[in-house]
Structure 1
Amino acid sequence: MKIEIQHLSSAYEVDLDEPIDLSLALENDSSLGAWYLDPPKIEAVRSPEFIGEVSEGSPVNFRNIHFNPHAHTTHTESLAHISTEDIPVNGIFSKFHFIALLLSFTPKMDGQGNQIIFGSDYDLKRILDSGAEALIIRTIPNESDKKLKNYSHANPPYLDLEFVKSIRDLGIDHLLIDLPSIDAEEDGGLLLGHHAFWGFPNKLRPHASISEFIFVRNEVEDGLYWMNLVPANIKNDAAISRPILYRLNPK
């Protein structure tokens, strides 16, 4: 199935039969994780009268899933992640399709051993000129072990605060990254990047979202895409999500 969309002064064709999935699977005992939590568990319901496992004689598989969206898989967050505002992530979206810009960045090491992602003037101009509503950040190197890595105590890369402010000021409402957080693992609970992106506390942006723990394959080129972003309908500050990209083919 193909659709045609208009963006700025250009027309594009989108092939809906060629999706690019940016999400990571939630699996039982997966090594993928962060924030010092145990692995997720997917286990059969067990009681004296019933075992929810076909391999043990049940007519159906009937399993509980125990996980944390922030720590175990691709997820999308709302302003409620850092505030007492009653703005759950399942209520912030008035639409689910966006023009998204994918850019790749190589973090730079500072004098304290931190890897920081900076945006150059060229990067900011690309964001401005794109007219994108969403920015997708892929970090380099981009090895497949990102899909299985445990980031706890690893001090992973994070976004420069001024870069986050620029992203916000350029009109990006939805920020996606292939790391467990846009902020440093250990920052004393400041979460400066989250605060800046959501304009907290004085200039709140309740419609904005941050998605973390995505993965963008190497063969997916930097540039503009049509994106579908839908968090699970869970009333919480964060929910699992499955961002999907589609190539924009000029007409």
Structure 2
Amino acid sequence: MELTLTLNGCTYRTETEKALSIAIPLNFDGAQPNHFGAPIAHAETLEADGFVGDTRRGGSCNVARLTLVPHCNGTHTESVSHIVDELVPVGELLSPVLLPCIVVSVKAETLGSCNESYTPNPEAGDLVVSGRRLAEALSQQPVANHCPAIVIRTLPNDEEKCHRAYTEGQPPVFFSSEAIELLLTFEHLLVDFPSLDKMYDEGALDNHHRFWQIPAGSHKLGADARTQCTVTEMVYLPDTLADGLYLLNLQVPAFRTDAAPSRPVLMPLEEIE
């Protein structure tokens, strides 16, 4: 099926058959991504009152109980409720169904080499997505100013992102303060690393607070809070998926929670001559 749309005075088309999921498949019986030392996601057979949910064990059907931590066990989407007391259910935020989205690739660099900042406890060797490199990538995509969503792929890019265990000895990249300020024009931010913030940041989550416009240290929604915005972490974009303009279908279950496993789907947009 072919779809057409107009964006900033230009007409684009896409074919739904070219849609590509950038969610990391969650393997409950094998290697899987992990953040912050959380228990791995696992599945177990449901057994109750003589019922066994496993056809290999004589059951009439397969029924599994899944245990996971959405924030730490794979691709997930979160709402502002990740950092505030009030509940803004993540499953109720995504409208319209299709969103113009820009994909950019940014090479990570050390905080010391880019001479940028982070709060708290910045260290020169911290690996970050810097404001200067993000600005350079965005400058190559003029239509980004008209997109409510952005996907950021960090370089180098490797398939190990699909099952990497991020630890103190192998911490993930995060945003500098300057970079997160550039992203406030977007409502839906998707990244291929586990957190906008440094893994061990004294619990400040400063970049999360900046993105949702919640005062530092506060856990209350204010008048300026960007409650319509979402953050999606731990996506994976293969190298075959080029930077540029896409339609995003961000699929999130109807969970009344701050976060849920999600499945972002991208469809490439081609400008019609």
What band does the TM-score fall into relative to the shorter chain?
over 0.9
Q: Which amino acid aligns with 1:144?
A: E
**How far apart, CA to CA, are the structure 2 residues paired with 1:195 and 1:110?**
20
Q: Determine which of 109, 113, 116 is the counterpart of 2:128.
A: 116
Contact 2:252 2:260 in 1 (8 A): yes
Q: Determine which of 168, 177, 181 is the counterpart of 2:191.
A: 177
Q: Determine which of 132, 148, 168 is the counterpart of 1:133.
A: 148
Number of aligned residue pairs:
249
Deviations 1:43-81 (A, max 9, x none): 101246121111111110011000011011111010000
- Using structure 2 for the length normalisation, give the TM-score: 0.87
Deviation at 1:124, TM superposition (A): 4.5
Deviation at 1:129, TM superposition (A): 4.2
**How far apart, CA to CA, are the structure 2 residues paired with 1:127 and 1:173?**
17
Deviation at 1:162, TM superposition (A): 1.6
Equivalent residue for 2:172? 156
1:192 paired to 2:174: no
1:72 is paired with a residue of what secondary structure? Answer: coil
Deviation at 1:128, TM superposition (A): 6.0
Structure 1: tracts of 5 or more residues without a match: none
Contact 1:104 1:222 in 2 (8 A): yes
Q: Which amino acid aligns with 2:10?
A: S
- Segment drifting more, 110-119 vs 186-195: 110-119
1:64 paired to 2:65: yes
Deviation at 1:152, TM superposition (A): 2.7
Deviation at 1:95, TM superposition (A): 1.7
1:144 paired to 2:145: no
Equivalent residue for 1:205? 226
- Segment drifting more, 70-79 vs 44-53: 44-53
Equivalent residue for 1:5? 5
Deviation at 1:98, TM superposition (A): 0.8
RMSD between superposed Cα atoms in Å: 1.5
**How far apart, CA to CA, are the structure 2 residues paired with 1:186 and 1:208?**
24
1:224 paired to 2:245: yes
